[in-house]
Amino acid sequence: MNLDKQRWVIVLCSLIIQINLGTLYTWSIFKNPLIKQFGWDPVSTSFVFSIIIVVFYGSTIPWGRIQDRFGPRWVATCGGVLYGLSILLASQTTSLIYFYLTYGVIGAIGIGAGYVCPLATCMKWFPDKRGFITGIIVAGFGLGAMIFTGFVNNLIDSRGVLGSFEILGWVYGTLIVVASQFLRNPPKGYTPAGWTLPADQEMSSTRDFEWTGMMRTRQFWIIALSYIFGANTGLMIVSNIISIATTQGVTGATALFAVTVLSLCNSAGRIGGGLTSDKFGRLNVLKVLFLFQAIACFAFNYISGIPVLVMIGIIGICWGGFLAIFPSLTADYFGIRNLGMNYGCVFFVLGLGTMNSSVLYDLLRTSRWVDPIIFCGILSVFGFAMMFVMSPPRMSIKYIKKNAKANCPLKQCIRP
C-alpha cells in the first residue's frame, strides 16, 4: 500500500484504540450499581477513579520509553490485553481491594500503554498536519464514553454490573488488540508526497532531546505548568459540572444537558485546536485559548441560567484545544524520535498538577477564600502570560557532547 494511504489506515486504527480506552470515563455508570450490590461506601468506591488517574498518568513514562525503543505495535497490544484483562478480572470482584487492583491498577497500566502509542505514532506519520492529527486522536479518547454510554447502560440493565464487565472486557480488549496490529512507525526520513519542511520548522526537526536533557530546559517546565493551568479548569468543571450548573441557576434536564455541551465542545476543541495551530502557530492559538478561558471563568460571577451553558461550552473548547496542542508543541520543541517518553514526562507532571482538581473545587468553595471558578480564571491569566516567554529550546554544546544520540548541527545548537 502507498505510504500516504497507509498513514490514514493507521489513523483509523488509532481512533479505534483511543475510543475503547476512552471508556475509562464510563466509570460513573458503574459506581451506583456496585455500591448497591456490595454495600460499599460511596467515597471508598469513588477512590478507584483516583487510582486510575494516578497510575494511568504515571505509567505513560515507562511505556513511552518502551515504545520509543521497540515500536508502537507491541506496546499498544500489551495495553489492550491489560485493559481487557482488568475488566474481565473485575467481573469476579468480591472485595473493594480486589476491585482496586484489577479495575484500578491493572486497567490504568493498560490505558497508559495504549494511550501514548497512537499519539506518538500518528505525529510521526503526519509532520504536515501534526496539530490536526493530534486533535483527531485525542478527540477519539474523549468520545469513548459518549459512544459506549448507551451500550453500557443497556448491558447493566440486562446482565448486571459484574456480567457487564465480563462482556466489556472481551469487547474492549479484542478491538484494541486487533487495531494495534496495524500500528507502525514510518520509514526513516519519510515525508508526505509533495510536502517540504517549512523553514521555521527545519531546526526543530534536527533536535531530538532525550528526556533527561528535555527536563533541564526551561521550556519543559513552562509547557508543563501552563498545561496544568489550562487543563485544571476543564477537569474541575467536568468532575463537578452538575453542582456548578445548579449553583449558577441551571436546574433539571438543562443541568444534565450541560454534560453533553461540555463533551461535544471538548471534542470540537480538540480537532479545531489542532487544526488551527497548524495554520496559525501553536503559541498564537494557545494565547487565544487561555484568554477566552479566563474571560469565561470571570463571567461566571455575572451570569445565571442558559448563558452558563455558553460559558461551559467555551471552557470545553479551550480544554480540548489544550489537550490537542500541547502534545504537538512537545514534539515541535523536543523532537519526534523520543516523543513517547518525552510526552509521557509532560503528561505525568500534568497528572500530578491536576489530580486533585475535584477536591480543590470543594476546598475553595467551602473556604470562601476565592471562588473556585475565579481561581481557574486567574490560572488561565498566568498561562496566557507564560506563552509570551516561550521560545524553542536549543541544545548546548555540553549537552550534545554528553548525549551522543543528539542529531543536531553544532552551529545551530549553541544556546543563545
Top-level CATH class of 3-180? Answer: mainly alpha
Query: Which pLDDT does position 88 carry in this prediction?
Result: 96
Q: Check: CB of residue 376 under 8 Å from CB of residue 230.
A: no
Model pLDDT for residues 307-324, shown as the tens digit of each residue: 989 999 999 999 999 999
Model pLDDT for residues 252-307, shown as the tens digit of each residue: 777 778 877 888 898 899 999 999 999 899 999 999 999 999 999 999 888 888 89
Query: Which pLDDT does position 96 carry in this prediction?
Result: 94
C-alpha–C-alpha distance, residues 255 and 304, integer Å: 12
- Checking if the pLDDT of 70 tops 80, the result is yes
Query: Which pLDDT does position 403 carry in this prediction?
Result: 53
Q: Is the pLDDT higher at 67 or at 354? A: 67
pTM for the full model? 0.78
Superfamily of domain 201-392: MFS general substrate transporter like domains (1.20.1250.20)
Same fold, 3-180 and 201-392: yes
Q: Check: CB of residue 312 under 8 Å from CB of residue 234.
A: no
Residue 67 CB neighbour total at 10 angstroms = 27
- With left for phi above 0 and alpha for psi between -120 and 50, is residue 189 left, alpha or beta? left
Of 147, 166, 186, 185, nearest in space to 18 by CA: 147
- Checking if the pLDDT of 201 tops 70, the result is no
DSSP 337-370: TTHHHHHHHHHHHHHHHHTTHHHHHHHHHHH-SS
Query: CA 63, 66, 69: angle at the middle one, nearest 5?
Result: 150
C-alpha–C-alpha distance, residues 364 and 371, integer Å: 6
Model pLDDT for residues 110-119, shown as the tens digit of each residue: 999 998 889 8
Mean pLDDT over 100-114 rounds to 94
Name the residue ranges covered by the structural domains of the chain. Answer: 3-180, 201-392
